[in-house]
Protein backbone atom coordinates (compact mmCIF):
# COMPACT_ATOMS: atom_id res chain seq x y z
CA UNK A 1 0.00 0.00 0.00
CA UNK A 2 1.49 3.32 -1.08
CA UNK A 3 0.41 6.25 0.97
CA UNK A 4 2.40 9.07 -0.51
CA UNK A 5 1.48 11.40 -3.35
CA UNK A 6 3.35 13.86 -5.52
CA UNK A 7 1.87 17.18 -6.57
CA UNK A 8 3.90 18.58 -9.49
CA UNK A 9 3.70 21.97 -11.12
CA UNK A 10 5.46 25.15 -12.11
CA UNK A 11 4.08 27.08 -9.11
CA UNK A 12 5.05 30.36 -10.75
CA UNK A 13 3.77 31.54 -8.35
CA UNK A 14 1.82 29.31 -5.96
CA UNK A 15 -1.81 30.40 -5.68
CA UNK A 16 -4.48 29.87 -3.04
CA UNK A 17 -5.86 27.23 -5.40
CA UNK A 18 -2.59 25.26 -5.20
CA UNK A 19 -2.58 25.52 -1.41
CA UNK A 20 -6.19 24.40 -1.25
CA UNK A 21 -5.33 21.27 -3.26
CA UNK A 22 -2.28 20.64 -1.05
CA UNK A 23 -4.36 20.82 2.14
CA UNK A 24 -7.01 18.54 0.66
CA UNK A 25 -4.31 16.05 -0.37
CA UNK A 26 -2.94 15.93 3.11
CA UNK A 27 -6.33 14.86 4.44
CA UNK A 28 -6.01 11.79 2.24
CA UNK A 29 -2.27 11.11 1.99
CA UNK A 30 -0.05 10.99 5.06
CA UNK A 31 2.95 12.14 3.01
CA UNK A 32 3.05 14.62 0.15
CA UNK A 33 5.88 15.66 -2.15
CA UNK A 34 5.39 19.05 -3.80
CA UNK A 35 7.57 18.97 -6.90
CA UNK A 36 8.47 22.24 -8.61
CA UNK A 37 9.43 22.00 -12.27
CA UNK A 38 12.80 23.51 -13.09
CA UNK A 39 12.29 24.38 -16.72
CA UNK A 40 14.14 27.55 -17.76
CA UNK A 41 12.52 27.26 -21.21
CA UNK A 42 9.23 28.26 -19.59
CA UNK A 43 10.92 31.55 -18.57
CA UNK A 44 9.39 31.73 -15.11
CA UNK A 45 8.70 35.05 -13.40
CA UNK A 46 10.13 33.70 -10.15
CA UNK A 47 13.46 31.85 -10.11
CA UNK A 48 13.45 28.24 -9.03
CA UNK A 49 15.07 29.24 -5.74
CA UNK A 50 12.36 31.83 -5.08
CA UNK A 51 9.59 29.33 -5.83
CA UNK A 52 11.18 26.75 -3.52
CA UNK A 53 11.59 29.29 -0.70
CA UNK A 54 8.02 30.54 -1.00
CA UNK A 55 6.47 27.06 -0.95
CA UNK A 56 8.71 25.94 1.91
CA UNK A 57 7.68 28.98 3.93
CA UNK A 58 3.99 28.48 3.13
CA UNK A 59 4.06 24.80 4.05
CA UNK A 60 6.48 24.93 6.97
CA UNK A 61 3.77 24.04 9.49
CA UNK A 62 3.47 20.57 7.98
CA UNK A 63 6.55 18.34 8.40
CA UNK A 64 5.02 15.63 6.22
CA UNK A 65 5.16 17.81 3.12
CA UNK A 66 8.45 17.82 1.25
CA UNK A 67 9.13 20.58 -1.28
CA UNK A 68 11.64 19.77 -3.99
CA UNK A 69 12.68 20.86 -7.46
CA UNK A 70 12.92 18.56 -10.44
CA UNK A 71 13.86 18.47 -14.06
CA UNK A 72 13.44 15.56 -16.42
CA UNK A 73 10.57 13.14 -16.24
CA UNK A 74 8.04 13.41 -13.43
CA UNK A 75 7.65 9.63 -13.24
CA UNK A 76 11.37 9.31 -12.46
CA UNK A 77 11.04 11.70 -9.51
CA UNK A 78 7.99 9.80 -8.33
CA UNK A 79 9.90 6.51 -8.50
CA UNK A 80 12.92 7.99 -6.70
CA UNK A 81 10.65 9.08 -3.85
CA UNK A 82 8.70 5.84 -3.79
CA UNK A 83 5.48 7.60 -4.75
CA UNK A 84 2.80 5.95 -6.89
CA UNK A 85 0.18 8.70 -7.03
CA UNK A 86 0.38 11.92 -9.04
CA UNK A 87 -2.07 14.64 -8.02
CA UNK A 88 -3.31 17.22 -10.49
CA UNK A 89 -5.92 19.89 -9.89
CA UNK A 90 -8.83 20.21 -12.30
CA UNK A 91 -10.57 23.57 -12.35
CA UNK A 92 -12.71 23.32 -15.44
CA UNK A 93 -13.50 21.05 -18.35
CA UNK A 94 -11.00 23.06 -20.38
CA UNK A 95 -8.19 21.70 -18.21
CA UNK A 96 -9.24 18.18 -18.96
CA UNK A 97 -7.75 17.54 -22.41
CA UNK A 98 -4.20 18.50 -21.49
CA UNK A 99 -4.45 16.74 -18.14
CA UNK A 100 -5.83 13.59 -19.74
CA UNK A 101 -2.95 13.52 -22.23
CA UNK A 102 -0.41 13.96 -19.46
CA UNK A 103 -2.01 11.24 -17.36
CA UNK A 104 -1.98 8.81 -20.29
CA UNK A 105 1.61 9.66 -21.18
CA UNK A 106 2.72 9.21 -17.59
CA UNK A 107 0.91 5.85 -17.51
CA UNK A 108 2.69 4.82 -20.69
CA UNK A 109 6.00 5.81 -19.11
CA UNK A 110 5.28 4.08 -15.79
CA UNK A 111 2.23 1.87 -15.59
CA UNK A 112 2.33 1.47 -11.81
CA UNK A 113 1.75 5.18 -11.17
CA UNK A 114 -1.80 6.53 -11.07
CA UNK A 115 -2.89 10.11 -11.69
CA UNK A 116 -5.62 11.39 -9.40
CA UNK A 117 -7.50 14.59 -10.17
CA UNK A 118 -8.70 16.84 -7.41
CA UNK A 119 -11.05 19.79 -7.54
CA UNK A 120 -10.26 22.95 -5.60
CA UNK A 121 -12.76 24.96 -3.59
CA UNK A 122 -15.06 26.71 -6.02
CA UNK A 123 -13.69 30.06 -4.88
CA UNK A 124 -10.48 29.15 -6.71
CA UNK A 125 -11.79 27.56 -9.91
CA UNK A 126 -10.99 30.65 -11.98
CA UNK A 127 -7.44 31.07 -10.67
CA UNK A 128 -4.28 30.35 -12.60
CA UNK A 129 -0.71 31.47 -12.03
CA UNK A 130 -0.53 32.98 -15.52
CA UNK A 131 -3.72 35.04 -15.12
CA UNK A 132 -2.53 36.23 -11.72
CA UNK A 133 0.78 37.39 -13.25
CA UNK A 134 -1.10 39.09 -16.07
CA UNK A 135 -3.60 41.02 -13.97
CA UNK A 136 -0.93 41.96 -11.42
CA UNK A 137 1.35 43.31 -14.14
CA UNK A 138 -1.58 45.38 -15.39
CA UNK A 139 -2.15 46.93 -11.98
CA UNK A 140 -5.01 44.83 -10.53
CA UNK A 141 -5.07 43.52 -6.98
CA UNK A 142 -4.41 39.82 -6.41
CA UNK A 143 -5.59 39.89 -2.82
CA UNK A 144 -7.36 36.68 -1.87
CA UNK A 145 -5.96 34.88 -4.90
CA UNK A 146 -2.45 34.27 -3.61
CA UNK A 147 -1.05 33.94 -0.09
CA UNK A 148 0.15 37.22 1.44
CA UNK A 149 3.77 36.06 1.12
CA UNK A 150 3.37 35.67 -2.64
CA UNK A 151 1.66 39.06 -2.93
CA UNK A 152 4.60 40.55 -1.06
CA UNK A 153 7.12 38.89 -3.42
CA UNK A 154 5.17 40.17 -6.42
CA UNK A 155 5.40 43.69 -5.00
CA UNK A 156 9.16 43.26 -4.46
CA UNK A 157 9.60 41.99 -8.02
CA UNK A 158 7.84 44.99 -9.50
CA UNK A 159 10.26 47.28 -7.62
CA UNK A 160 13.36 45.54 -9.09
O1 LIG B 1 1.68 23.59 -13.31
P2 LIG B 1 2.00 23.07 -14.69
O3 LIG B 1 2.99 23.97 -15.38
O4 LIG B 1 0.77 22.81 -15.51
O5 LIG B 1 2.75 21.65 -14.46
C6 LIG B 1 3.15 20.87 -15.55
C7 LIG B 1 4.03 19.68 -15.08
C8 LIG B 1 5.20 20.17 -14.27
C9 LIG B 1 3.20 18.75 -14.25
C10 LIG B 1 4.50 18.95 -16.36
O11 LIG B 1 5.04 19.86 -17.26
C12 LIG B 1 5.55 17.86 -16.08
O13 LIG B 1 5.27 16.88 -15.44
N14 LIG B 1 6.77 18.09 -16.58
C15 LIG B 1 7.89 17.18 -16.38
C16 LIG B 1 8.29 16.49 -17.67
C17 LIG B 1 7.50 15.23 -17.89
O18 LIG B 1 7.50 14.31 -17.10
N19 LIG B 1 6.78 15.17 -19.02
C20 LIG B 1 5.97 14.04 -19.38
C21 LIG B 1 4.61 14.11 -18.71
S22 LIG B 1 3.40 14.28 -19.94
Distance 103 CA to ligand 1 centre (A): 10
Distance 10 CA to ligand 1 centre (A): 8
Q: List the chain domain ranges.
A: 4-159
Is 34 near ligand 1, meaning CB less than 6 Å away? Answer: no
Which residues lie closer than 8 Å to 115 by C-beta, 6 or more apart?
A: 85, 86, 87, 88, 99, 102, 103, 106, 107
Is 57 near ligand 1, meaning CB less than 6 Å away? Answer: no
> Per CATH, which fold does 4-159 belong to?
Rossmann fold (3.40.50)
Question: Is residue 20 within 8 Å of 124, Cβ to Cβ?
Answer: yes
- Nearest in space to 91 (alpha carbons), one of 117, 66, 69: 117
Q: What angle do CA 147, 150, 73 make, to 5 degrees?
A: 100
Each residue's pLDDT tens digit, 106-128: 999 999 999 999 999 999 999 99
Q: What is the mean pLDDT of residues 29-51?
A: 94
Amino acid sequence: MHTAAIYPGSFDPATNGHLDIIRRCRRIFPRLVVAILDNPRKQPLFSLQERIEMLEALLQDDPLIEVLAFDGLLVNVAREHDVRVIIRGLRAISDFEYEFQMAMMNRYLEGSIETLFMVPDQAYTYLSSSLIKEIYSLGASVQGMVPELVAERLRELSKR
